[in-house]
Structures are given as structure tokens and as C-alpha cells.
Amino acid sequence: MSRGASIKVRGLCKTYGSGARAVHALGPIDFDVAAGEFVSLIGPSGCGKSTTMLLVAGLEPITAGRVEIDGRPLTEPLSDVGIVFQDHLLLEFRTALGNVMLQQQIRRLDRDEQRARAAELFSRLGLAGAEDRYPWQLSGGMRQRVSIARALVHDPSMLLMDEPFGALDAITRTQIRHDLELLWLDTRKTVLFITHSIDEAIGLSDRVLVMSPGPGRIVEEIPIDLPRPRPAHLGDHPEFARYARRIYDIFENLGIYRFHRDRP
């Protein structure tokens, strides 16, 4: 099984468009993710979280700065990676298993080995028995589990997740968060996790990078020192409350939240 890869980002900037209509969307930002670390990027919409993820994956051109994966500068799309988006992006004409086996077909991997890995992931992700169902026959939570299986079946050393649970209901979200944590504990892949949710960021991460918009920057780095696996109900943990409070305070200081404390 492949180990996690390290990520090193220095002076990374992204500008969309050019000339007078150019929009400076991101940066410069610097951060590191150690091999096997789980790091979240949290921030309001438009703070460049998704852009950061795409730049780290080598899927969008970098305007300035550099990204290094395992010490090597990134010059083309990273292939040793799995990506999960907010929408499951499953192909409606393939079964759950067929969607996962897409990786085998487009990456030209060994079929039997990939089938075995898919079977293992299906059982680990609670998808056993759903192999032959089409996406329209699955609930939203199961579709997203299939999407996670698709991102992991080729055993990448890095997992990039862009608000993967954003479209799910709160109950499903808690369960799938827990399942992801257990899977990560066993595999220790490097995870860059993008989220709006303070619960998810604290519940999953070794470190949380808090971002602010216009242009996107990293304003704070918060190591999360909580035992794993973390409880579903994080509120029981006094430490959790302190971390959450810290993030709320940062957002309030940035003017992202406006709490009306002066009301009687």
C-alpha cells in the first residue's frame, strides 16, 4: 500500500483572466503537509480553497510560486492522487462498481488487482451489495461513498477532497466523517480536505488552515491535538469547544461573521 506524499507550497498565487479584468483570487500562500497528515483548509466561499486544491493537483496553471510533491516541483497534473468533489460526479451509465473501475480502465491498471481493491473498499465503506446499482438507485450518502472509493481504488498516496460532504444531510455527514477517519487511520494517506464546516475540520484534521477571502490567504494555522478516533459528538470534548471558539473568533475578527452582541 502506498504511503502518503508530502506537499510543500511556497508563494502560491492564482490570478484569473488578464489585463484590466484580471481577478487576483489567491495568495501568496505558504503551507506544508507532512506525509500521512490530514490537513483541512477552512474558510468562507470565495477564499480560494478549491483553487488551492486544483493548483496542488496540477490541474490549473499556477500564476506564481511553486508546489512540490515529495520534494519534486509539480509541472504536470499529479497522477498519484484521488480527488473527491462536492458532487459525486458519478457516471450515470455505470454501476457503482463500474464507476470505481473507471480508474482501472483510464489508468490501464491490472484488472484483477483493482477488482480486489474495489471489493475491499466497498466493504470498508459500507457499500457491500451495492456494486451493481446505478447511481440513481443510490442515496446521496452512498453515491458519495462510491465517489470516495473511486478516488482510492488505485491506491494513491494523496487524497484531495473539496467539500466532499457539503451536499449531504447532517446525520449522513456525521457517519461518513467517522468512516473516513477510520479509513484514513488505517491507510495514512496524505489528505487535503476542504470544508466550510468547523465540526468537520476539527473532527478530522491534524491541522486546520484558516483562510480569508479577497484574495485568498492563510490567516491562521491550528494544530488539533485530540485523541483519535474522534467522537461523533464533538461537543462533549471541552478541547473541541476551545478549537471551535478559536475559529469562530478568527472569522469574526475578519468580518466574515457579524454577531450582534450588543442586542439586549
Partner 1 sequence: MSPGGTPAATRWPQSKPLQRIAEPLLWFAALLILWEALLRLLAVPLFVLPPPSAFLRRLVEEQERLLLHGLLTTEMVLYGFTAGVLPGIALGYLIARSRLAERSLYPLVVFVQGLPKITLAPLLLVWFGFTDLPKIVLTALVTFFPVLVDSAAGFRSIDPRLYYVTRSAGASWWRTFRHIEVPSAAPSIFSGCRITIVVTVTVVIVVEWLNSNNGLGYLVLRAMDAADTPLLFAILVVGSTIGVVLSYAVDLLERLLLPWRRR
Q: How far apart are CA 250 and CA 259, in angstroms?
A: 13
Q: How far is the CB of 262 from partner 1 (least distance, A)?
A: 42
Omega into 213 within 30° of 0, i.e. cis? no
Q: How far is the CB of 171 from partner 1 (least distance, A)?
A: 8
> What nine digits make up the cell of 182?
477510520
Q: How far apart are CA 100 and CA 104, in angstroms?
A: 8
**C-beta of 178 vs 217, nearer to partner 1:** 178
**C-beta of 90 vs 254, nearer to partner 1:** 90
Q: How far is the CB of 199 from partner 1 (least distance, A)?
A: 18
Instruction: Give the DSSP H/E element, type plus range, for residue 40.
Output: strand 38-42
Omega into 77 within 30° of 0, i.e. cis? no
Q: How far is the CB of 237 from partner 1 (least distance, A)?
A: 22
**C-beta of 47 vs 83, nearer to partner 1:** 83
Which amino acid type is present at position 93?
F
Residues that bind partner 1 (CB under 8 A): 54, 57-59, 77-79, 81, 83, 85, 87, 89, 91-94, 102-103, 105-108, 124-127, 130, 134, 136-142, 145, 150, 154, 168, 172, 175-176, 179, 182
Omega into 229 within 30° of 0, i.e. cis? yes
> What nine digits make up the cell of 254?
475578519
**C-beta of 74 vs 218, nearer to partner 1:** 74
Which amino acid type is present at position 70?
D
Q: How far is the CB of 218 from partner 1 (least distance, A)?
A: 23
**C-beta of 103 vs 205, nearer to partner 1:** 103
Instruction: Name the CA dihedral angle for 181, 183, 184, 189, rounded to a multiple of 10 degrees.
Output: -160
Q: CB atoms < 10 A from the CB of 42, how many?
A: 25
Q: How far apart are CA 29 and CA 9, in angstroms?
A: 7
**C-beta of 54 vs 226, nearer to partner 1:** 54
Instruction: Give the DSSP H/E element, type plus range, for residue 96.
Output: helix 96-107
> What nine digits make up the cell of 40?
483541512
**C-beta of 142 vs 211, nearer to partner 1:** 142
Which amino acid type is present at position 123?
S
Q: How far is the CB of 85 from partner 1 (least distance, A)?
A: 6
Which residues have a Cβ under 8 Å from the Cβ of 242 and sit 6 or more positions away?
Answer: none
Q: How far is the CB of 249 from partner 1 (least distance, A)?
A: 34
